[in-house]
Amino acid sequence: MNLNILHETAVAMVAPGKGLLAADESTGTIKKRFDKIGVENTEANRQIYRDLLFTTAGFEQHTSGVILYEETLFQKSLAGQPFPQLLASKGVIPGIKVDEGAKPLPAGGPDETVTEGLDGLRERLQKYKAAGARFAKWRAVISIGAHTPTHTAIHVNAHALARYAALCQEAGIVPIVEPEVLMDADNTVETCERVTEWILSAVFEELFVQRVALEGMILKPNMVVSGIKCPVQAGVAEVAERTIKVLKRHVPAAVPGIAFLSGGQSDLLATAHLDAMNKIGGVPWKLTFSYGRALQAAAQKAWSGKNVDAGRKAHLHRSKMNGLAALGQWSEALEKAA
């Protein structure tokens, strides 16, 4: 393991004013997105759509890297260039989602999941690296309910995240460690804060136990928000303050950067929250975005399988807005002006 190379890559992934595009939807997830816009979920359409995203002129000014799904890593652009090479030629770092999804824990407890994909991962990482991937991503899913999360779910997911991260670093690949506390329930922002603290403390303990070098990784957490069905919704300033407080308590300064997931927030809120955190500042890590839905929803709608230029325009706009938010330089007026 060459820690200097890992560190350099991690630092480049959170370069000032840049963030990550999470375009790693598995075939089942992209189907849900395509269904909404009336596009058939074929390999050809997935290629056309990802080509649109990666050939958007100027998106590279705001995008440090793209998380790809395995199919896309080995797919070519419409002009015949392998996607990882196309991205690298624009100075955008190609990455790969390596987990095999969140699977139900054995019966006996409440409905919770553990993310799988460790079997054969060492060998798969070699294949992905040869194809051009320089970082990887693994997402653990923690849900909030009357009796969840349990200690079991927190423990097994933290353990798997650290196992994955250690294998990535052995292969010379920067791990994005993504423990996502879902925002789909009716919980308060206080509950989200407590659960986020719990999973982050468990994850960093496991990373230590499994000798993961913090200088060579990126954290991809949820923000501390109210559950979407909670009648009282925390405002932008409260979300920013609570998220920073929790991160300061649990994320060592050696981690180069934190790239948030959007988790189902609206495009504008995801941007506003990131901007508010960067306006607060005074933190030891870079704070940026690694959004899937909040970067792509507008582009998908504008494209709708027909209008490539409109899709590109929407993609560039959201990339630009989030790039500004990563610097704490975004304002709602910029959205209106655009």
Three-class SS state of 250: helix
Please tell me the total number of residues recorded for the chain in this structure.
338
User: Token pair of 285, please?
Assistant: 């890590």
How near is the Cβ of 76 to ligand 5MM at its closest, in Å? 21
| Catalytic (active site) residue 220 | yes
| Angle made by CA atoms 59, 273, 293, in degrees to the nearest 5 | 50
Residue 253: Cβ-neighbour burial (10 angstroms; 0-12, 13-18, 19+) = exposed
Q: Is 291 in the site for ligand 5MM (CB under 6 A)?
A: yes
- Site for ligand 5MM (CB under 6 A): how many residues? 16
Q: Is 29 in the site for ligand 5MM (CB under 6 A)?
A: yes
Q: How far is CA 76 from the centre of its chain?
A: 23
Residue 254 vs 268, nearer CB to ligand 5MM: 268
Query: What is the rounded distance in angstroms from the CA atom of residue 238 to the CA atom of residue 43?
Result: 42
Residue 286 vs 293, nearer CB to ligand 5MM: 293
Which positions from 151 through 190 interact with ligand 5MM, judged by CB under 6 A?
A: 180
User: Token pair of 161, please?
Assistant: 């995240």
Q: Which of 178, 180, 193, 206 is the catalytic position?
A: 178
How near is the Cβ of 269 to ligand 5MM at its closest, in Å? 12
Q: Which of 115, 262, 271, 319 binds ligand 5MM (CB under 6 A)?
A: 262
- Give the CB-nearest residue to ligand 5MM: 292
Q: Is 124 in the site for ligand 5MM (CB under 6 A)?
A: no
Residue 100 vs 205, nearer CB to ligand 5MM: 100
Name the segment binding ligand 5MM (CB under 6 A); options: 22-30, 48-56, 195-203, 251-259: 22-30
Q: Which of 18, 97, 137, 220 is the catalytic position?
A: 220
Binding marks (x or -) toward ligand 5MM, 212..231, rule CB under 6 A?
--------------------
C-alpha dist (Å) from residue 129 to 122, 159, 160 = 11, 24, 21
Q: Is 294 in the site for ligand 5MM (CB under 6 A)?
A: yes
| Catalytic (active site) residue 180 | no
SS (H, E, C) 273-334: HHHHHHHHCCCCCEEEEEECHHHHHHHHHHHCCCCHHHHHHHHHHHHHHHHHHCCCCCCHHH
Q: Is 251 in the site for ligand 5MM (CB under 6 A)?
A: no
Three-class SS state of 256: coil
Amino acid at 137: K
Q: Is 292 in the site for ligand 5MM (CB under 6 A)?
A: yes
Which positions from 54 through 73 interact with ligand 5MM, judged by CB under 6 A?
A: 67
Query: What is the rounded distance in angstroms from the CA atom of residue 53 to the CA atom of residue 139?
Result: 22
Catalytic residue positions, numbered: 178, 220
Which residues of the shown chain bind ligand 5MM in the complex (CB under 6 A)?
22, 24-26, 29, 67, 101, 139, 180, 261-263, 291-294
